[in-house]
Amino acid sequence: MTPITKHVRAVILLVVAGFASTACLVKETSNTLYLDGDGAVTWSILDRNVRSDDDEERTYFTAVQCDEHDVARGFRNLDGRDVSTTILRAVRPYSVLTEARFAGLDLLGQVILDRLRARGTSTMVRNADGSLTWRLVVEGMFSEPSDDEVDKVAGVFAGDRVTVILTEGRFLAAEGFKFGGDEAVLITDDETADDHEMFPLVVSLTWTLRL
């Protein structure tokens, strides 16, 4: 897993940082959430050119063939539906696409908070003009989750950026994202502020189906 910067660690509640589910693997990861107009999400993670200098790549590909690799397990532990693993390249270096469906961005955010013992809320509201706003507020941590709890979901936080793409419509506003048209990218930085200075942390997206 690519190391996650300080800001993004806060978004995924600090504790995922430093947990590399496939530490010996070299790969290029694309981490994309496809957001439907009603707030439902298809989370798609594409690992390309996966390889290593030892047996780690064989262990990885064996898990992929059984649909038990870290990303698939992470999606299931976040209550993802219709989890699928598609092998795009079955010889070294491997390429694998893993996807899962989630009923709503608000529900997904709340599950992440719960799994990582974070104190906060994830909500989605319809505004007076018909647009929708998703808002995630991280107020702090109830307690630090165990290594095992973090490892169960760490695979889905791979990659050095997270992109949200609307399947229809366009973004109107955002907090914590750079956006334009139908695409929003989570802002990352290298600030090293103390953890207590990060809270409360807020990220949000507002979108409309009108073009």
The 10s digit of each residue's pLDDT in 75-88 is 999 999 999 999 99
Beta bridge mates, 204: 135, 175
Whole-model pTM: value is 0.86
* CA pair distance 64, 166, nearest whole angstrom: 28
Torsion of CA 73, 62, 34, 24, to 10 degrees: 90
* CA pair distance 136, 86, nearest whole angstrom: 31
CA 70-76-77 angle, to 5 degrees, is 85
- The 10s digit of each residue's pLDDT in 124-177 is 999 999 999 999 998 887 777 777 777 788 888 877 789 999 999 999 999 999
- 84, with CB counted inside 10 A (0-12, 13-18, 19+), is middle
* CA pair distance 121, 135, nearest whole angstrom: 8
